[in-house]
Amino acid sequence: MSLVATFVVLVRSHVVTWEATPFNRMLALVQQDPVVLKYHNGSLLKGNVTVHIHWYGNFTPTHRSVIVDFIQSFGSVPRSRHSPPSVFSWWRTTARYRGGPCTLTVGNQTLDSTYSLGKSLATSHLRALASRNPTAKGNAIHVVLTSADVAVNGFCMSRCGTHASARVERDRVVFVWVGNPATQCPGECAWPFHQPVYGLQTPPLVPPNGDVGIDGMVISLATVVAGAVTNPFGNGYYQGSAMAPLEAVSACTGIFGKGAYPGYTGDVLVDNVTRASYNVVGVHGRKFLLPAMWDPVTSTCKTPV
Ligand SMILES: *[C@@H]1O[C@H](CO)[C@@H](O)[C@H](O)[C@H]1NC(C)=O
Ligand SMILES: *[C@@H]1O[C@H](CO)[C@@H](O)[C@H](O)[C@H]1NC(C)=O
Ligand SMILES: *[C@@H]1O[C@H](CO)[C@@H](O)[C@H](O)[C@H]1NC(C)=O
Ligand SMILES: *[C@@H]1O[C@H](CO)[C@@H](O)[C@H](O)[C@H]1NC(C)=O
């Protein structure tokens, strides 16, 4: 699929898209193509990074609390060493990339429940929306999340989410967008909680927060945020071409547990009451299913379980 660089108003910018349909990439992994993300000498996001969120469209308080809890879990040290794998330990792999750790905290949030730019957005709209949060100086990621009834250029066709950067005055600003795929393309952007469009038809897993769209968004958000931190300006860590790079998590697409193969997530944990599948825990007792992340020390896709 082609990459559409749409932030044309900006002097220097790039957009990295992410698709969830795992089969082509996973076939490459199964064929033992080594996953090696090369470092391209650019800077990464490090230190304290604030994540500002612009909620576009119809998100219920429950939707929002799942995603806010997810982001808060990045920096929340688990209370017991014996608890199951955590979002915190999953994210800690990013500290093994050059330059040390990056700690994410939730910053300002804006609710755009009146669809201020309509229900059909171009990529340039996303950047405009991302800039609506008031922000302090310092490292930040500007996240736009669009609800299930919002069409976004390229959404479902070639992307479940994107990250991008642009120069705004003197600062380099990092953007992330993820759409809720629940009605438009759950088979493309909410696998494994929905039957995939292509490939092996394994039964869908029960989503850990009971919502196919929102739990699918968590997977996409995990993927693009990891890409935004380890390849924020298009010259960090990636494999392949700069125009269609495989990054920290997108290089490991479709792998959630040991023994994964195309169309099978690998062995993950199952909640024996709700039957939901998960592989990490987070704040407020939340459970999430997160994709593997490439570990630069071992050069492997590391699964939480
Ligand atoms: C990174 O910098 C080194 C040393 O300056 C150089 O040899 C190498 O080609 C650079 N790599 C990339 C991908 O730019
Ligand atoms: C990040 O913030 C914490 C407190 O919020 C502070 O102790 C720490 O020094 C900060 N780290 C950096 C790299 O600025
Ligand atoms: C959040 O917005 C307020 C203004 O409404 C601003 O003063 C503050 O610095 C912002 N917070 C962050 C973390 O950027
Ligand atoms: C779920 O499984 C765990 C571990 O096997 C067990 O300790 C717990 O009692 C089970 N819970 C229920 C409600 O069956």
Dump pLDDT digits (tens) for 244-279. 899 999 999 999 999 999 889 999 999 999 999 999
- Would you state the pLDDT for residue 78? 82
Domain-embedded: residue 192: yes
Q: How many angstroms separate the CA atoms of 294 and 90, rounded?
A: 10
What are the pLDDT digits (tens) for 38-74?
Answer: 999 999 999 999 999 999 999 999 999 999 999 999 9
Instruction: Please report the atom of ligand 4 found closest to the CA of residue 273.
Output: 13
Q: In which residue are the tokens 């630069």 written?
A: 296
Domain-embedded: residue 34: no
More confident position, 30 or 9: 30
Domain-embedded: residue 183: yes
The closest residue, in CA terms, to atom 6 on ligand 4 is 272
Global confidence as pTM? 0.90
How much is the average pLDDT of 13-37? Answer: 63
- Would you state the pLDDT for residue 10? 30
Domain-embedded: residue 285: yes
The closest residue, in CA terms, to atom 5 on ligand 4 is 272
- Would you state the pLDDT for residue 264? 92
* Count of structural domains within the chain: 1
Question: Which residues share a beta bridge with 109?
Answer: 53
- Would you state the pLDDT for residue 170? 75
16-20, 108-112, 129-133, 238-242: range with lowest mean pLDDT: 16-20
Report CA(272)–ligand 4 centroid distance (Å).
6
Q: How many angstroms separate the CA atoms of 41 and 50, rounded?
A: 24
Does ligand 1 come within 6 angstroms of the Cβ of 98? no
Does ligand 2 come within 6 angstroms of the Cβ of 47? yes
Does ligand 1 come within 6 angstroms of the Cβ of 40? yes
Report in angstroms the alpha-carbon separations of 153 from 135, 196, 214, 224, 291. 27, 21, 20, 17, 25
Domain-embedded: residue 33: no
More confident position, 161 or 262: 161
Counting ligands in written order, the one closest to the CA of 269 is: 4
Q: Which domain holds residue 127?
A: 3-28+40-302
